[in-house]
Structure 1
Amino acid sequence: MRVSDIRIYPVKGLRGHSVPGAVVHPWGLEGDRRYMVVEAASGRFLTQRQLPRMAEIAAHLGPDGLELSNPDTGRVIVMEPGPQAPSRSATVWRDIVAARDAGDEAAAFLSAALGTACRLVHMADPAADRPVDPDFSAPGDHVTFADGFPLLATSVASLEDLNGLLPHPVSMDCFRTNVAVDGAAPWAEDGWLSLRIGPVPFDGVKDCARCAVTTVDQSTGARSPENEPLLTLSLFRRKAKGRIIFGQNLIPRGPGRIAVGDEVAVA
């Protein structure tokens, strides 16, 4: 098995991009989901669940900072907020995190693009701010603004199997994976409890329950009127408590760098 794609999502909920390789930190890939869009008044996180048009906004980390771009509102460059930036409490699911506000220009850009008052915040210290669910982790495991775990891995063969059942095929983008693996049997990722990607060991800790974000076209922000691929997945990938799964959540168990083409070995 080999890594066929690595993707990072600098801002939770916005469109990400492929990279040839990435440094792996204990809390996830370098640059992945360190920023988050929140409601201006409450500080609660916003995602494509509420605002599918977030998929129309691209977020790209470059040498000049974080670039946000949208066909309708242009682009803006956001510098990483430093210690002098205003502090803001941000809520992601049940977690309240001390974050840094990324400034009025970013807030104005996102509010105009999304049609709602919002702010952009940054997690300054992922090593201390947000522990992983203790039911699926070890003491000291932390995560950024990702839904719950440092990385998500998916299988190309599983997507191909799913697409064979769909009226219209979907791309891996709709599952917002960090690492796509080629060469495995369909749905083999369910059993990836311990694996090595290149030089880096990982624990597979929990299958990934899917939601309405999978039904959003990541290039247009349009939601599937047929509720696909979630509807088809529900017919054969429904687990306990009604969870519909696709992919395996990972926690790194060592430092290193992974790259497209790296061998993936399951222990």
Structure 2
Amino acid sequence: MALQLSDLYIYPVKSLGGIRLTEAHIDTRGLRHDRRWLIVNERNQFMTQRQTAAMAHLKVEPAYNGFLLRHNQRPELLPLFVPFEATPEKTLFVTIWDDMVFAWRARPECDEWLSEALGQPCKLVYMSDMVRRDVEPEFNPDSKLVSFADGYPYLLVGQNSLADLNTRLAEPVHMDRFRPNLVFSGGEAFTEDTWHEFKIGEVTFRAVRACSRCVLTTINQLTGQKHPQSEPLRTLASFRTQNGKVKFGQNVTGPATGLISVGDAVSVLSYKPL
């Protein structure tokens, strides 16, 4: 079966729900509008489902020039509209992993809504085009930039890789546990591990290295509950551990511009050395 782009996702707010697209524009930091917003705590440190599993309850729905945040367990919390871009009225420095970058504040009502939804004081901030946050330097010869994503602009996963994993689980899991941007059909399970350069339609990407997986994969994205036996991470660890890290999917970099669509052909241009 020929390789084909089968799904496209953006996550406008890091660690919240995604939006499924039929086509996506490519910017210098990845897919347009992907993880440009971030939730930070009182100390201006980034928040994710790793520490705050309740973030899984916050779903993101497309809206004109922005998106709606909705709490899937609390209908009394009216949906919150957030624009795709903020304005530089207030700024602050925030910490994400080892990086400290300046960010623009959202409207006060966004902070209030999120603090109520998550049961703790927090703030919503935006990464402007003026911010420089680089991909990991040891894997970044071309000086690629990244948004508030963990470390790379894109995450690629094959549908057959998930299908293989699900054959090993007592209860299959959905692709949303792994938060990919690019999902393709066709090929053998885990074939993406071997790719170096590949094209989606006419746009060339580079698979940099396998993605290390964490406790977030064990959180049910509908209920916000962690699996009592740490699945699927436990099963993944039994056959996908390399150098002490559990691997699933590929971290990817790409060009500064372009357009890709679901249904585009995927072609592998080169493979990683053995």
Please identify runs of 4+ aligned residues in structure 1 that moved more than 3 A.
Answer: none
Equivalent in the alignment of 1:218: 221
Match of 1:55 in 2: 56
**Structure 2 CA distance, aligned partners of 1:87 and 1:244?**
37
Partner of 2:197: 194
TM-score, scaled to structure 1? 0.95
Q: Where does the alignment leave 5 or more consecutive residues of structure 2 unmatched?
A: 270-274
Alpha-carbon distance in 2 for matches of 1:145, 1:26: 13
Tell me, in whole angstroms, the C-alpha distance in 1 between the residues paired with 2:112 and 2:7.
33
CA distance in 1, matches of 2:261, 2:222: 25
1:10 maps to which residue? 12
SS at match of 1:11: coil
Match of 2:87 in 1: 82
Q: 2:98 aligns with which of 94, 98, 104?
A: 94
Q: Is structure 2 residue 173 aligned with structure 1 residue 174?
A: no
CA contact (8 A) 1:64 1:77 kept: no
Shift of residue 221 of structure 1? 1.2
What TM-score do the two structures reach when normalised by structure 2?
0.93
Q: Identity over aligned residues, as a percent? A: 40
**CA drift at 1:61:** 4.1
Task: Report the counterpart of residue 134 of structure 1 in structure 2.
Answer: 137
Matches of 1:256 and 1:139, distance apart in 2: 17
Q: Quick check: 1:46 aligned with 2:47?
A: yes
Hey, what's the Cα distance between the residues in 2 that align with 1:53 and 1:15? Answer: 12
2:115 aligned with 1:111: yes
Unmatched 5+ stretches in structure 1 = none
SS of structure 2 residue aligned to 1:222? coil
Which of these residues, 236, 255, 266, is aligned with residue 253 of structure 1? 255
- Residue by residue over 1:205-251, the C-alpha shift from the partner in whole angstroms, topping out at 9 and shown as x without a partner, is 111000011011112211111100000000000001x1100000110
Cα distance in 2 for residues equivalent to 1:96 and 1:257: 30
For the 8 Å contact 1:31–1:61, the answer to whether it is kept is: no
Give, in whole Å, the separation in 1 of the partners of 2:100 and 2:204.
29
Residues 155 and 189 in structure 1, CA contact (< 8 A), matched pair in contact too: yes
Q: Which residue number corresponds to residue 272 of structure 2?
A: none
Q: Secondary structure at the match of 1:78?
A: strand
Is this contact kept in 2: 1:202–1:254, CA < 8 A?
A: no
Which AA in structure 1 matches 2:104? Answer: R
**TM-fit CA distance, 1:62:** 2.4
Measured after TM superposition, the shift of residue 81 of structure 1 is 1.9
**CA RMSD in angstroms, aligned pairs only:** 1.2
Cα shift at 1:59: 2.1
Counterpart of 2:212 (choices 205, 209, 213) is 209
Q: Deviations over 1:10-36 (max 9, x none)?
A: 000101121101001121001100000
- What displacement does 1:162 show? 0.4
